[in-house]
Chains A and B, each alone.
Chain A
Amino acid sequence: MNRYTVAVLVNNQFGVLNRVTSMFRRRRFNISSLTVSETETSELSRITVVFDGDDAGKQQLINHLYKLPDVCSIKEFSDDNSVSFELLLIKMKNETKSREDIRGAADAFGAIIVDYSKDYMMFRLTETTKRIDDFINLMREFTILEICRTGSVSLERSSTTIRQIINL
C-alpha cells in the first residue's frame, strides 16, 4: 500500500465532484482526504485527493478519470516535487491542571490560539499531514473536545501549472 496525492482540475460544473469520487468508489479506493475549491479561473475547480492503493490501481484510476469529459488535467504529487499543507482546528478542554502543558505543546508546533474561554481553547495549525497527526497524538494526552481538518492541498515546486498538462 502506498499513499498518493493527486490534484484533478475539473470544469466547475454541477455534479462533477460526484463523478470524480464515484470513480474512486467503483475501484474500491478509500479516500483519506479530499478538498475542493474554485481556482484562479472561475470555470475550473480543483479537487485534491489523498488515497491509499498500489501503483497499477492508481494508474488505472488516473486513466479512467481522464475519460470523464469534465476532467481537464490531473497532477500527481510526490513529497520532493511538491508542497503540501493542511489546516487543523482543534478544540481542547481548558483545565487548570493541563492548560500550561497544552499551550507549551501548541507553541512547539506553531499552533495558534484562535478562541479561548474558561471551558475550552481552540487552536489552529497549518502544517503537513504528518505534523498534524503528531500534534493530535500529543493532544490525546489531554482532553480533546473536537477536531476538524481540511485535508491536504498541494502545489508543485515549479513555475509550471496543472493547466499546462496535456491529457495523458
Chain B
Amino acid sequence: MLLSGADIIVKILIEQGCDTVFGYPGGQALNIYDSLYAHSNEINHILTAHEQGAAHAADGYARATGRVGVVFSTSGPGATNLVTGIATAYLDSIPLIAICGNVPTTHIGTDSFQEIDITGITLPITKHNYFVNDVEDLADILREAFRLAKSGRPGPVLIDVPKDVQIAKCEYEFQPAVEKEEPFAAKNDRINEAAKIINAAKQPYIYFGGGLITANAQAEMLALAEKIDAPIGCSLMGLSAIPTDYPRFLGMQGMHGHYTSSMAMHNADLILSLGVRFNDRVTGNRQKFATGAKIIHIDVDGSELFKTVDAVCGLRGDVKLTLEKLLPMLKENKKPEWRVKVEAFRQEEESCLDKREGLTPRKVILILNKYLGENTAVCTDVGQHQMWAAQNLNFKTPRRFISSGGLGTMGFGFGAAIGAAFGTKERSVLVTGDGSFGMNLNELATAVRYNIPIVILIMNNGVLGMVRQWQTLFYNKHYSNSVLERKTDFTAFAKSFGANGEAVTTPEELDEALSRAFRAEGPYIIDCKIDKDEFVLPMLPPGGSMDDIITNLEVEQ
C-alpha cells in the first residue's frame, strides 16, 4: 500500500496497539494531524492545553497500563514543551514515544521558522532518538522505537519527522506489534553466590522499586520473602506493587520513608534489592548507609549495579526470571528474633504517628483512602503532599500510584491523572499542592472538554511547603520566596473552566466533599485548607544517616 509518511506514522501506532495519543498540533505536524483525522475511528487523539501536559498524560497512561504512551507535537516550541515530560519519563524508566514534526529536510540547519534541534536537546533524556531523513526508513524506525521503549529497562524514545518526510510516499505493509526483547535471567554463578549469601543471612531485608512492577515479579518476591522470613520495603517508585496491608510490608524507604522500613533496612545484615536504585534520597549519607549489611542487587540494567553503593553481589537480569531461578536454591527458614526486632520498630513507629485532631495532612489522606476503589489511580505532584500521600495511601493494585520519583517534577500530576484516567478507563485522583497545581492547572480545560472524571484534591497550605520545611529546619526560617500569598479561589477557578469544586476546612467537610467528588461526572476540585507549618516526618536530613532521623518536631511559632 503506497502511503504518505504521516499515514505511516498513524498506521504503525495502530499496528502497535496504541489506542490513545496525546498531543498538540502546529505547522510542521499538520500532515500527521490530517492522517489522524482520516483514522479517527481507529485511534483517539486527546488535545491538551499545553504540550507538557500531553507528555505527562502519555506518561501517566503508560504508568497506569504498562503499555507505551505516545505523544505528538509540532516543531520548535511544541517540541521544547515536551522536554520536561520526556525527562520525567526518562528518570522513572517509563516507556514513552514522542513524535515531533520538524521543518522540511531542505530547511534543516538554516534556523528556519520553528526549527529546533530536538534530537540534540533530548539526547541525554531519551533511551534513543531518531531524525528521520527518508520516508523509506520511517516504518522501521517507528517499530524499532516501540521495541526500544519497552525492552529491558524501559524509557522514552523521540522521533523527529521533517515535514517533507511526512508528505513523501512509500510502500507500507502491516506488521504485527513488535515484541520486547526476550528477558533473560542473571548468570547461574551469580545466582549461586546470591543464594549462599541469602542462606547465611540472619536479618535479611527485601528492598524493591519500580523495576519490580515493570518485571511483574511481585509473586516471586513475595514467595521469596515467605521462604526466608524477611520483611519488605520499597522506594517511592515501588509503591502499589504489593498491597499496603500485606503483613510483611513495612512501607516506603528513604528521606521521608516509614520509620519501620528505614530502621529494618538500617539494621539488616542483608539487603536484597530488586529492580531499584540506591538514589541519594534513599541512602542519605552513602558512607553511613546500612554499614552492617551485605547488598545483593538484581537489576535488568547492568549500569545500575555498583553505581552508588558497593554491592557484594550484582546480578544483571530480569528480576522475575532471576527470582524464579533463585527461589529453589533458598533454604526455608524462620527468623523469630529478627521478627521481634522489626515488630519493636513497628511499635515505635506507631507511637510517633500523627494522631492530632482536625484536618491534619495524614487525616486528609486517610479520609481519601475510604473512597479509593481497587482500580483507582492516584497521581501526585511534588512536595509535602506527595510524601503524605506516599506514606498514608492504602494501595491495593499495582500501577495505581503515579508520582514523579526521579525528576520530582512539579506540574506532573494533572497531566498524569488525565493519562491514567484514559488508561484505566476509570476515575483518577490527583493529590496536589497549591504550588504544583499552579504549574499546570490549564489542563482543567482538557479534563472538562473530555469530561474526564478526576478528583483533584489540593492540599492547600498557601506555601511551597517542602521548600518551607527545609527553610525552617536548615535556613533559620528565612522563608525566601516560598510563601505564595496568592488570592486564587480554586472553587471559582473550577467553575470558570466549566468544572465544579468546593473548599473544605474540617475532616467532616472533606468527607462530604469527597463523596460528591467521587460521584461527579467530570473533574471536581477540592480545595483542602491545611496549616502552612505541617512537617513531613520522619525525615532523614540530607547527607545524614539513620542516627540523625527526625521523628517529631515542635516548631515554636
Contact = CB atoms under 8 A, between A and B. Distances in A.
A18 B117 CA distance: 13
Nearest to B310: A56
Nearest to B301: A67
A15 B119 contact: yes
Interface stretch (A58-66, A84-92, A135-143, A153-161): A58-66
Given A15-B119, A18-B123, A56 B131 contact: no
Given A22-B124, A26-B124, A168-B316, A59 B119 contact: no
Given A15-B131, A68-B128, A168-B316, A60 B123 contact: no
Contacts of A63: 302-303, 305
A168 B304 CA distance: 13
A119 B305 CA distance: 59
Given A69-B148, A168-B316, A60 B303 contact: yes
A19 B303 contact: no
Nearest to A25: B124
B302 A66 contact: yes
B129 to A, nearest CB: 9
A67 to B, nearest CB: 6
Contacts of A59: 306
B307 interface: yes
Q: Chain A interface mostly helix, strand, loop or mixed?
A: helix
Given A14-B131, A15-B119, A15-B131, A67 B124 contact: no
A18 B119 CA distance: 11
A21 to B, nearest CB: 11
Interface core residue of A14, A56, A59, A69 (most chain B CB under 10 Å): A69
A22 to B, nearest CB: 6
A14 B117 CA distance: 14
B128 A69 contact: yes
Contacts of B127: 67, 69
B162 to A, nearest CB: 14
A68 B148 CA distance: 11
Contacts of B133: 14
A136 to B, nearest CB: 35
Contacts of B301: 67
Interface core residue of A18, A63, A68 (most chain B CB under 10 Å): A63
A67 B123 contact: no
Contact of A66 (B123, B124, B148, B303): B303
Contacts of B305: 63
Contacts of A15: 119, 131
Contacts of A69: 127-128, 148
B124 A60 contact: no
B157 to A, nearest CB: 9
Interface in B109-162: 119-120, 123-124, 127-128, 131, 133, 148
A15 to B, nearest CB: 7
Interface in A24-58: 26, 56
B148 A168 contact: no
A22 B303 contact: no
A55 to B, nearest CB: 11
B306 A19 contact: no
Interface core residue of B119, B128, B303, B307 (most chain A CB under 10 Å): B303
Interface in B265-324: 301-303, 305-307, 316
Nearest to A61: B303
A146 B209 CA distance: 56
Contacts of B306: 56, 59
A67 B119 contact: no
Contacts of B303: 60, 63-64, 66-67
Interface string B80-115: 000000000000000000000000000000000000
Contacts of B128: 68-70
A4 B301 CA distance: 24
A60 B316 contact: no
Given A66-B302, A67-B301, A69-B148, A19 B123 contact: yes
A60 B304 CA distance: 8
Contacts of A60: 303, 307
B307 A22 contact: no
B318 to A, nearest CB: 15
Nearest to A60: B307
19 contacts: A15-B119, A18-B120, A18-B123, A26-B124, A56-B306, A59-B306, A60-B303, A63-B302, A63-B303, A63-B305, A64-B303, A66-B302, A66-B303, A67-B127, A68-B128, A69-B127, A69-B148, A70-B128, A168-B302
Interchain residue pairs A-B with the least CB separation, the first 5: A63-B303, A69-B128, A64-B303, A168-B302, A63-B302
Interface of A: 14-15, 18-19, 22, 26, 56, 59-60, 63-64, 66-70, 168
Given A56-B306, A59-B306, 4 more contacts: A14-B131, A18-B123, A60-B307, A63-B305
